[in-house]
Structure 1
Amino acid sequence: MMASEPIDDVVAWSNTQVPWRQDCLRRLAIANDLSESDEAELLGMIKHAAGFTLAETPPTADPFTKAHFSGGSHIPIVLKGIANIAGVNRLVANASLDFCPKALTIVYGRNGSGKSGFVRILRTACRTRIESAATLKVLADVYGDGKGALSADIMIDAGAGDVPIAWSPGMAAAPQLGQVAVFDTASAQLYVDGGNKIRYLPFGLALPHRLNGVCLSFKAALEAEQKTAVGTKISLATVTFLTIRETAAQKFNRTVTKATTDAAIAKASAFSEVDDARLTEVTGILSAGSTAAADMTNLVSWVDTLAIECATAETGLSDEALAAAAALKSTAVSAREAAKLAAGALFDDEPLAGVSSESWRKLWRAARDYSVTEAYPERAFPVLPADAAGADCVLCQQPLLPDGAARMQRFQAYMDDTLDTAATTAEQAVVDAISALPAFKQLTAADFAERVEQIRSRDTGLADALTTFQASVIARHAEAKARLVGGAENDMPAMASATEAVKALATKLADEKAELIKASDAEQRLKLESEKAELEDRKILNANAAKLITRRDLMVTDAAYTKALALVATTGITKRANELLDIHLTSAVVSQFDAERERFEIKHLKIGLARKSGQTKAEFEVNPQTTLTKITSQILSEGEQRALALAGFLTEVALTDGSGPIIVDDPVSSLDRERSAKVADRIAEEAGKRQVVVFTHDMVFFNELCRAADEVGIDPVTVVLFSDLDAAGKVDPAGMGWKGLNVAKRISNIKNRFAPMPKLHATSPADYEYAIKGLYGRLRDTYERVVEEVIFCDIVRRGTDVVQTQMLRYVTLPDTLAVRFHEGMSRANTHSHDNPASDTVPVPRPEEFQAHIAELEQLIADFKAAKDLAEAARPQMKPKK
């Protein structure tokens, strides 16, 4: 491509963009350790393709340094909640949930309470393994009109306060929410069968994949530009030859490269008028030589004959000849009219009209011929009675009477008359002229058009002239005949002469015939054919010289792109990335996965992880390690599948770059109670590292999760959802149901409910009595829960089949504490039961109830102290881990 004629599609590389692209490519060149000459060649090709001169000074290289590889990790977020929900499932209008910004949030609700509606929104907005649009689809209320738009606000805090992220179905995911991982039943199946895929790697190991991402973006941009700038244009600029052969022109065409110069193209495609004349000459010789001698002789004979016919036509059908034909016919007509006038005066008295007419004269001639040949041979016609006895009429074959004989004599006298003889002679001249019209066998032959095409290969002008001449001859021939038979005279276009041109062709053909004799020599013919091929291909190359230049310029541009694409190749980076993964991460992933499986007691399953890496990410997929099937869900029970999915999810979470929030929906579905407790322990442990939100309908699991959280020092925030006939997703302002509260939360709940009691005691003793009676019932329930949780250390819990026998060593029940427990429990029973109307049991005053609560709290503290003393008294025992 000439510097003054840059390809339009490459202009994008020019102007202000080129220095930037050159700088990027120089950096890639340095990163890939290209030699200075390779780098200079690449930049030179880019400049050449963009129309720059190679004399320009390239920008100073900026080698990669450690600063270029700085972290740049994402800003951690806190998931604050979801609000302003509209149109989703049966969720109440403007439904919302608030999440604990730290540690653990437990959202409890029975089936149909609306938990899934919240989770469906979150899994479409956050990170999930589900990629099916149908599975991720969020529906409106199927029992409503479904006309309203679906929307919600997801509240996050990235360090600058609460920020709402608007959500609607199908919207592009917000980058910040990519830190939030969601696990539910649908994604669990993917973890089992689809594999556990770690999408984010620690920065150091993610760098090669990120570099691949940069290279791929460069590659995509370069390939798009290359497609626009080059694409199929090189093939479109290819010179097409009719026959593939080893001529100099075709060899040059095949060897054109980006280095081919304009001078070389001009030299290889040079073709002058002299060359063109020689090509025509050689073509004619070989064309003639390829025709059999007999065919050439036949062609020469035909042309010679055609020349004679042309000459005949030019004289016999000239304007003068046509005028003569018309005059001849006019003379015959005039002579006959004169004879008719004479006959009219002679035969007016005959009995029949029409004597002397053409038909009558035919009848007379027929009678005469019959008489002299058959009736009266060798006798002059007409034979009259005076000439021969018994002479009969040759027409009626009756004896001629005197009147008939006289009439026959008059008729004969008329036929011998000078006027009739002249007319007859003139008419015969017309007949003879018609018969004498030339036939023009060649000009009217069926193969005339084919013959003309043979001439056309030698002389196009003559072929066209002959075609016109033929049409003129046919028209004039018809006109001549028409004039001779008495037709109307038509004006005829002038007839151009073709005789001399045909004679010249005949001479030329004679010369070709002589050349044919020369070309019959095999060696001489090969030389002529070779010369003809060279001339033909060079003529084609000359006509397509502009294509050669265009193709060369496109090759220059394409080479620049190819060089640039080689610099952004990802094969080496991917290989190195996989090596680093195997060294630094694969063992960590497998170890983490094994640890998670061991926590859930599924280590016995022959399930492992196998690394599967791509260009921009590393994946660790579940490997069932069996030849029976590759579908893990067909091997494992539902409980084992759920445990395996949780292990995969938590492995990913543990090794994910950053510590983003996680959302877990129904984690213990299909799990037995023992594994449910282990899941609760694991989630509580994870809540110590990151924000965790759990949705569950399982009250026992809820209690297990609260217990596990308490053991690791976390006070979980609980939210209770419920539904009614109108809608779902309603938040119970009272919080968690009483059965789900542990001792501490029950005491807290009682204290909160007691807060208005002193005021109520002063304003309405009856209402106070009713309310305080209920609080004593709650206090009694709390004493009962103290038995499970405090005295017997949750060794056996209602609603579970787990017995923690190792906790027996912490059980102690000193007599004093047993008495105090009995007294407190009795008091709670007394004031919560229906007492006699005689008022023998007075209603405790507010300060008394406060004292009773304080006594319970102190009792719990003393029980814990007693346990510590008992444990200290047996130092030889070590707790099992």
Structure 2
Amino acid sequence: MALVDDILAWAGGLPAWQSDALRRLFRNGALSVQDQAEVLALLQEHHGGPAAAVAAIPLSMDDVSQAGGTATVRLIKLDRLENVNRFPAGRELSLVPEGLTVVFGENGAGKSGYARVLKNACRARVRQAVLPDAFVGERPRPIPSADVTFIIDGEKGHVTYTWRQGQTSLDELGNVMVYDSACGTDYLTREGACEYQPYGLPHLNRLATAQREMQATIEAERGHIRLNRTAFDALLGNHDVGRLIAKLGKDTDLVRLRELATMKPEDEPRIEELTRVLGTMNPEPEARAAELLANRLDTAVTAVKQAQRFVTDRALDEIKERHDKQRNTEAVLAVAQRRLHEDQPGAEGLLPGTGDAVWKALFEAAERFSTKSAYPGHVHPNLDDGAKCVLCQTPLADDAKARMVRFASYVAEDASKNAQEANAVMTQTMNAVGQANLSPVDQTTQDELKARDVALYDLVVETTSAWSDRRQWAQNAVATNDWSAERPVLPAGDPLDVRLTTKAKALRDQAKDLRAALDPQAKVKLEQELAALRSRVQLGKQLAEVEQFVEDSKAHNHLTACHGGLNPKTVSRQMTKLAGIYVTDALADGMNEELAKLGRRRSVEPELVGRTDVGKTMMALKVVDCDDPASQVLSEGEQRAMSLALFLAELRLQDHRSTVVFDDPSTSFDHHHRRCMALRLAELAKERPVVVFTHDAVFLAEMGGTVAQTGQPVLFQTVSWSEGQGPGFVTPGLTWETMDTAARLSQVRDLGAALKGVGDYLDEPAKERVKLAYTKLRGTIERAVREVFLNNTVQPFSDVVSVESFGAVVGFPQDQWEELTRIYDRCCEVTDAHDTNAAHQLPIPHPDELLKDINVFDGLLVAARRRGSAYRGERQKRNEARKKVFTANAEPRS
């Protein structure tokens, strides 16, 4: 298919991480949490990060369905199955290279085993790994394999390919298309939406969505890196340190910064001299000091706001509410524990502490060991005969089993879960309160405040002390369960952050006033020298912070590059380009025609729609005269029909006529859609080989009726369990319950023919075989009454009554009906299904009588079919005559 070939060609130019992500999407349909983590690791490696733990695997043809060129591939056989589910070695399934193959099997019979092999070998869109026998503990587990035999382009000679799980599949088999419920879901661009795209485009859409999700992950990680340049404002200026700090970032020369931070012996005296000289006539130092303190106060305000939220009255009230909830849940748990110890039969003798948190953790650990190791797949506790206690590993007596049931019930009770949740919330709360920094104003800032504003300094000390007292009060109340002690009060007036903000503004105003009297022309050179020396001293104090800022800048820049690499615009542009080529009116028209064949509502119409949010074009379904989206109006079955229609529309645009496989296509369909689909698949089988796997007996009946009416050649096969050998046993034809009249009569005739030559006197085995034949003949007559004599006027599993078909029923001769009744009565007399008293027991008919009855019944069938054929011929002549009259009376167009 050209679309997937174009996607493969485009993916060849993608970075390794992106091609790997697209491969995972084609393989699995979505990116799991682990997939996203591994793709992100590959992305970070691509942008210079550490090596990822996994290697990138680019998208290839083996990952993509329908990527096999234009060759027509017709499947013939699937055989030599090894290590496939619980199949015995050597299972096989025949397929016809022309026409229709229908494989019927009940749930668990093994039908899905064959289907899964084909899905993997033929690169189905969504593949489920084929597993070996899950009940065999062999390690390493054997690898499933099978031989796939097929014809390429009708050439003479068969090609046999040995498929093995996990190995690259043959390219040509990619042309065999598979439809199942997962394939139908794959057409939906968004879950629950009625928007459809041809195979391949949804994967690009999912790639764009996954890249946005991974972008959010990168953004969150990048958000944890705080690049606060204001912490280094004191180092800025017209000097070497200032110029380096102004450009501080990932490319900063740390060697040069360390050189500047190292002071020489003569530098300190020079600073003192310059300070003395300039201090007598220059107000700038004082103004600068005021501004620096204001900056420190700004930093302190942020920390104060963070700290005080843990000790407000509302915060303390919340702690008390959570503590009360914890105590209440513990009280309820205590009642449950008391009931465990006292209120239940056999509770006496339980060890102290049974039911508490330590005991519960022990019980839950035992449960994990039981379900994962000792008794996998079995709920805990295992009370089967012979089951052992997973701790002492001795068999459980009856009283021990009862006690284990009580223990499991106790652990599962709401009281235990609620207490555990309340304890977890309380622990988290008190940890946060205990770890809160309630001394947010650093000592340097406090010392400067003490020198400039003693009152504000005292307020800082008083407030932080009150915070510590309030925290201690809350911790004591929680520890003692006693909240009666008086809560410490906070200082009156505005909160500390408001006071500090006000002081910072006053300091900046002071600096502004000081500079108003400064002569900007004086002492410039000395000031610059002093500023350069002081900046180096300050750099020495903040060197560790500066170096950390540079490292954080490198990490931030790396994440920014990864974030940009995840931008989905490139994917969206490719989607738009490919959609413009492949989502065409021809595809929409094909889907519309397929919808009509599948029995869609007249009010539902497909239309091409462009979505500007992601720049893609798709087919959407519109309900005529309805403003609500189709996804909210249509049923799941109707939406499934839409996806099947698009699948069939894609088939029509292919350049080859390879086999197409349908695995349980009737899922979610009602009888109306089943009938339409059966007709469509029979029609499709005239163009290419069609394989249908189904467990749906109703749909099977529809398929049988359809091929009988159309004369379509079909190979029916049944998958079942064979006695003592397991699943996957394939027999030609259908089960008795699903056979039509002709198949049943053929089987009865074989039973009768096998009785020839038994002699005049029947032994008991021969009598039983005659009874069996008459029993099956009775069932054949009952099936024939509906299918042949009543001409399928009324069908099971359907509310449809065919009035036209009834025309062939009228005129059934009385003598033929009496003959049919005679044979049916004899069947009823012979079969063991009726209990007849000894006085009325009739002798078992001789096999010759059985064969005669079979032949008479066959003649009745032939006569009934002739009447039906004659009736249909007359009806066709009548319909053609009506068309001629209509054509003759039609007015010519102007």
| TM-score interval, normalised by the smaller of the two chains | 0.3 to 0.5
Q: TM-score, normalised by structure 2?
A: 0.43
Tell me which structure has the larger Cα radius of gyration.
1
Greater RCO (CA < 8 Å, at least 6 residues apart): 1
Q: TM-score, normalised by structure 1?
A: 0.44
